[in-house]
Amino acid sequence: MLLEELSNAFGPSGHEDEVRRLLARALRDHVDNLQVDALGNLIAFKRGTGPEPRLKVMIDAHTDEVGLMITRIEKDGTLGFRVLGGIDDRLLMAKRVIVGKERLPGVILAPPIHLTKPEQRKQVVKREQLVIDIGATDREQAQKMVKIGEYAVFATRFDLLTDDGWRVVKGKAFDDRAGCAAAVALAEESYPVDLYFSFSTQEEVGLRGARVAAYRIAPDVAFALEGTICDDAPKKKDTSPTTEMGKGPAITVMDRTFIADRRLVRLLIDTAQAEGLPYQFKQPGVGGTDAGAIHLARSGVPSVTVAVPCRYIHAPVGLMSLQDFDNLVALMKAALRALPERFD
Amino acid sequence: MEIVPTLKRLSEAQGVSGYEQQVREIVTEIFGHHADRVRTDALGNVIALKRGDGPEPRPAVMLATHMDEIGLIVSDLEEGFIHFQTVGGHDARVLLGQEVVVHGRRDLMGVIGARPPHVLPPSEREKPIPAEKLLIDVGLPPDMLPDLVRVGDLVTLHSELTELKGGLVSGKALDNRVSVVAAALCLENLKGMRHRWDVLAVATVQEEIGHKGAAVGAFGLEPDIGIAIDVTFARQPGTPEEHTYELGKGPTIGCGPNFHPKLQEALMETADAHEIPYHLEPAARVAGTDAVDIQVAREGVPTALISIPLRNMHTPIETVAVRDIKRVGRLLAAFIAGLDDDFLDSLAWDLDLGPDE
């Protein structure tokens, strides 16, 4: 399953090669052209079947994931790091990671409860105080295995949790490998419009890949496919769940980075209703996606984001529903077929 | 015996204190390869007997390695999510974002969820979340969960044993499955050696909640000497040097009131004679291992403690050096092979009346 391979792949911002390779392999028989641009974006073109002039539609999904960067090697051979993208410090302790070019297994150390005082356990251990153990006994040995500036990601493995119910899978980096897998699924069919897929790098550090990809493609319309926040666990204070698992693809109306094009939002709603597909709106004002960069490309691009709700994004392990994923793919396929009539 | 694959099976097996069935089956099989007889007692301890060749009635040495692990237990269900309590000593900070297996009507993989930073005010990220506020998520719709999970179901942390560089392995429940492996190695080593004493290798239950298996095990077996094998704190950033020992530089031998000084010395002499590195680990308090209860079983048992240094104790990434496990297997076998018919007498305290007045 492509989603499994993508989730397991190593791809922190700026180092997305492994993800790009998987995508290029999955796409090559389904598209007319594959290119990689200066920032590492994989751009795939699939010619439309409708009469010319055809709409130029950009489908974006980002390839990078939150991760760590090795910034110092201690005397005792452990590795200090900085965080790439938004990771809560509280999630780092006692986690497994994969480190560097050699893909070395490592663990983020955690002191034993027996040797910590109760008041210490009320303090968050900050990222600066944490180190990765790869089994090196001293600095010299560690330097032979890892260089400063190499990356690390969580070592989580993809798996199916339940075959029944919502068909939920666990893994890392569903933000946004879910979007990548959905985009590949779209490429397996033909549409009346011309499709330009951008598998964009460096979303987590400021929507940087999508920005140059949108400039290059100069699309008429853009869809960003995402794995988005799903904060639907019970809470003391009755705050919005952002999105809810099992309730279908989530359409963004507005987030921190952009306001979605009303016509595209309408298209998605009408298509979902016509196809009998579930959908939901993402709580406005939260998070940001590549659409934030794409809609400002050149003289402006009507854009919308549609996403698979993913619980615990930016954590070592997240959950998503394959049912929601399938519904997102079905919705997007139908919307792309309907697009020329709705948008000229 | 291949150490890492054996340890992997043991580490990944489920065995929360009081519910050690799954790990018990594996231990029974592993001990069974090297012992004359294996049985289970009333509390669930696995007892393997390897007979010595001395004259009957033969003295016996008990090796105690606990096989239980810390875990979680389901305390409530809410809207498709699971509340839990902890079994054994957990630092709640370690639990956030971990993978677990809920042992319900079927085993369900899940995660201890963490709200993403996007929706959290910065002030909330400054405080650890206490265990009672954490939730387990197995990805089931709210209406399906009660059919599969009930209050009282056990939960183990999910962590695959991983090899690091430098001969280290990392995983869950290495406290104290590494010692189970060391005891099995001892039995295996003894196959090629002669020993006069009987060996009773006991994989004990319920150590993490007060070494209860060791107490009843030692009562039932009435050993002549007892050696508990457990883990100790390996040096790592953020721990005091005084209470920690370097990983991969040999086991520790305990000294203090819980341990018989002559037995301790005999172990040190054996280690020296076989060039097995070790450190002395002073323990002023009598606490924390099976040795506590073995020492005071029935009329009292001369007791010792050998410990394997381990990093990140009571987390899913407990880390040890494989060579330290091997060393304990060698040390135990060499010590047992050296036990002669007079050893017990050598442990006896002198009735010393002091000089005549």
Mean pLDDT of chain B: 96
Together in a domain, A107 and A28 = no
More confident residue, A54 or A238: A54
Together in a domain, A149 and A267 = no
Smallest CA–CA distance, residue B185 to chain A, in Å, is: 24
Distances (CA, A) of A274 to A253, A268, B2: 20, 10, 61
Together in a domain, B133 and B213 = no
Taking CA–CA distances from B172, the nearest residue in chain A reads A94
CATH number at B127 reads 2.40.30.40
Domain of A198 in residue numbering reads as 2-65+172-342
Are A104 and B113 in contact (CB < 8 Å)? no
Together in a domain, A145 and A178 = no
* Interface contact A304, partner B, CB < 8 A: no
Smallest CA–CA distance, residue B140 to chain A, in Å, is: 6
Residues in B 84-143 with any Cβ partner in A closer than 8 A: 89-94, 96-99, 108-111, 113-120, 125-129, 135, 137-141
User: Is the Cβ–Cβ distance between A78 and A6 less than 8 Å?
Assistant: no
Please report whether residue B353 resides in a domain.
no
- The total domain count for chain B is 2
Most A CBs within 10 Å, among B77, B115, B163, B174, to test the A interface: B115
User: Is the Cβ–Cβ distance between A340 and A55 less than 8 Å?
Assistant: yes
Together in a domain, B307 and B340 = yes
Together in a domain, B251 and B130 = no
Please report whether residue B355 resides in a domain.
no
Please report whether residue A218 resides in a domain.
yes
Taking CA–CA distances from B136, the nearest residue in chain A reads A233
pLDDT tens readout for residues B46-90: 999 999 999 999 999 999 999 999 999 999 999 999 999 999 999
Residues in B 29-48 with any Cβ partner in A closer than 8 A: none
Please report whether residue A298 resides in a domain.
yes
User: Is the Cβ–Cβ distance between B294 and B242 less than 8 Å?
Assistant: no
Please report whether residue A159 resides in a domain.
no
Are B99 and A317 in contact (CB < 8 Å)? yes
- Where among B157, B188, B216 does a domain terminate? B157
Residues in B 57-86 with any Cβ partner in A closer than 8 A: 78-79, 81
Q: Give the confidence band of A238 by pLDDT, cuts at 50, 70, 90.
A: confident
Please report whether residue B84 resides in a domain.
yes
Please report whether residue B18 resides in a domain.
yes
Please report whether residue A267 resides in a domain.
yes
Smallest CA–CA distance, residue A312 to chain B, in Å, is: 6
Question: How much is the average pLDDT of B254-278?
Answer: 97
Smallest CA–CA distance, residue A342 to chain B, in Å, is: 34
Are B97 and A317 in contact (CB < 8 Å)? yes
CATH number at A145 reads 2.40.30.40
Please report whether residue B354 resides in a domain.
no
Together in a domain, B240 and B286 = yes
Together in a domain, A52 and A83 = no
* Interface contact A273, partner B, CB < 8 A: no
pLDDT tens readout for residues B166-175: 999 999 999 9
- The total domain count for chain A is 2
Together in a domain, B151 and B269 = no
**φ, ψ for residue A131, nearest 5 deg:** -140, 160
Are A90 and B119 in contact (CB < 8 Å)? no
Residues of B in contact with A116 (CB under 8 A): 91
User: Is the Cβ–Cβ distance between A92 and A108 less than 8 Å?
Assistant: yes
CB atoms near residue A232 (< 10 Å) = 21
- CB-nearest to A319 from B125, B135, B137 is B137
Together in a domain, B240 and B316 = yes
Are B166 and A312 in contact (CB < 8 Å)? no
End-to-end CA distance of chain A: 37
Together in a domain, B84 and B203 = no
Domain of B244 in residue numbering reads as 3-69+172-347
Please report whether residue A11 resides in a domain.
yes
Complex ipTM: 0.93
Together in a domain, B210 and B263 = yes
Please report whether residue B131 resides in a domain.
yes
Please report whether residue B352 resides in a domain.
no
Q: Give the confidence band of A344 by pLDDT, cuts at 50, 70, 90.
A: low
Q: CA angle, corner B29, sides to B28 and B33, nearest 5?
A: 110
Together in a domain, B55 and B78 = no
- CB-nearest to A86 from B117, B144, B159 is B117
- Where among A95, A126, A154 does a domain terminate? A154
Together in a domain, B225 and B323 = yes
What is the percentage of chain B residues whose pLDDT exceeds 90? Answer: 90
Res A239 pLDDT > 90: no
- Where among B157, B182, B210 does a domain terminate? B157
| SS3 readout for chain B | CCHHHHHHHHHHCCCECCCCHHHHHHHHHHHHCCCCEEEECCCCCEEEEECCCCCCCCCEEEEEEECCECEEEEEEEECCEEEEEEECCCCHHHHCCCEEEEECCCEEEEEECCCCHHHCCHHHHHCCCCHHHCCEECCCCCCCHHHHCCCCCEEEECCCCEECHHHEEEECCHHHHHHHHHHHHHHHHHHCCCCCCEEEEEEECCCCCCCHHHHHHHHHHCCCEEEEEEEEEECCCCCCHHHCECCCCCCEEEECCCCCHHHHHHHHHHHHHCCCCCEEEECCCCCCCCHHHHHCCCCCCCEEEEEEEEECCCCCCEEEEHHHHHHHHHHHHHHHHCCCCCHHHHHCCCCCCCCCC
pLDDT tens readout for residues A193-212: 999 999 999 999 999 999 99
- Where among B124, B157, B190 does a domain terminate? B157
Together in a domain, B57 and B93 = no
Please report whether residue A101 resides in a domain.
yes
CATH number at A254 reads 3.40.630.10
pTM: 0.93
Are A115 and B243 in contact (CB < 8 Å)? yes
- Where among A94, A121, A154 does a domain terminate? A154
Are B119 and A242 in contact (CB < 8 Å)? yes
Together in a domain, A143 and A275 = no
Nearest residue to B101 (alpha-carbon basis) of B154, B65, B33: B154
Together in a domain, B43 and B185 = yes
CATH number at B46 reads 3.40.630.10
- Where among A154, A188, A205 does a domain terminate? A154
Together in a domain, A61 and A123 = no
Are B137 and A233 in contact (CB < 8 Å)? yes
pLDDT tens readout for residues B228-248: 999 999 999 989 988 899 999
Are A122 and B89 in contact (CB < 8 Å)? no
Residues in A 324-343 with any Cβ partner in B closer than 8 A: none
Together in a domain, A244 and A135 = no
